[in-house]
Structure 1
Amino acid sequence: MFDELQALEKTHTWDLVDLPPKKILIGCKWVYKIKTRSDGSIEHYKSRFAGKWYMKEYGIDYDETFSPVARLTSVHSLLAIFTAKCWKLHQMDAENSFFNGD
C-alpha cells in the first residue's frame, strides 16, 4: 500500500478540490491480491487503490467505456512472428498505469 500511495503522489495523480454542486462523490477502496508461484508458494503481496466506478451514471459521470484487452490468438500470432524473425522479446511489469494520462 505504501508503494502504491508513493507512486500516486509522485505522479500527481489527483488534486484535492471542492465537490461541484449536484455531483455525487465516487468512493474508493483498497484491493488486495496474493501473487503465487507455480508451486503455490507466495511470491509477493499486491495492493491497488481503486475507485468505486459502479456508482457512476451514464451520461452524467461518463460518456463512453473502454476495456483494453488482447485476444490470446493475437498474442500467439505476435509470438510466432517474433520467433520467425528471430527478434528479441523483453517482458516487463508496470508498477502503475494510467489510461487517460498525459
Structure 2
Amino acid sequence: MFIAYAAHKKLTIYQMDVKTAFLNGPLKEEVHVSQPNCFANPEFPDHVYHLRKALYSLKQAPRAWYDKLSSILIKNHFTKGIVDPTLFTRRHGNDILLVQVYVDDIIFGSTNPDFSNPSKLQ
C-alpha cells in the first residue's frame, strides 16, 4: 500500500535496513538467560545473565525495538497512525514525510526529496 500510494502521489522514496535493530531495544521486564556454553563459568555453572537489552531470538526483541523507534519518531514530531501504528507522518509546511516500519526495514517517502533521504534527516 505504501509504495502504491507513493507512486500515485509521486513521492520520492528511500529504503533502509536497520542493522542489529533488535539489539537496541530496552526490555520492560526482567529477563534472565542461561550462560552460553562457550562463556559458562565452571565455578558457577548455574549462574544466569540478567539482560538489560534485547537479544536476537528473544520473543520480546521485536516489540522492544518497535517501542524504541516509535518513541524516537514521536519525540521528533511524527504522528503515529491510528489505523496502522507502523506508519508515521510528519508535516513541514506543504510537505509531508511518511515513514513505514516493517520489523527492521524502514521506507521513507516525501513530497520533498530532502525529507525522505535518511542520510539527510536530523
Higher strand proportion (structure 1 or 2): 2
TM exceeding 0.5: no
Please give the range of the TM-score, normalised by the shorter of the 2 chains.
under 0.3
Q: Tell which has more relative contact order, 1 or 2 (C-alpha 8 A, sep 6+).
A: 2
- In the superposition, the TM-score normalised over structure 2's length comes to 0.19
In the superposition, the TM-score normalised over structure 1's length comes to 0.22
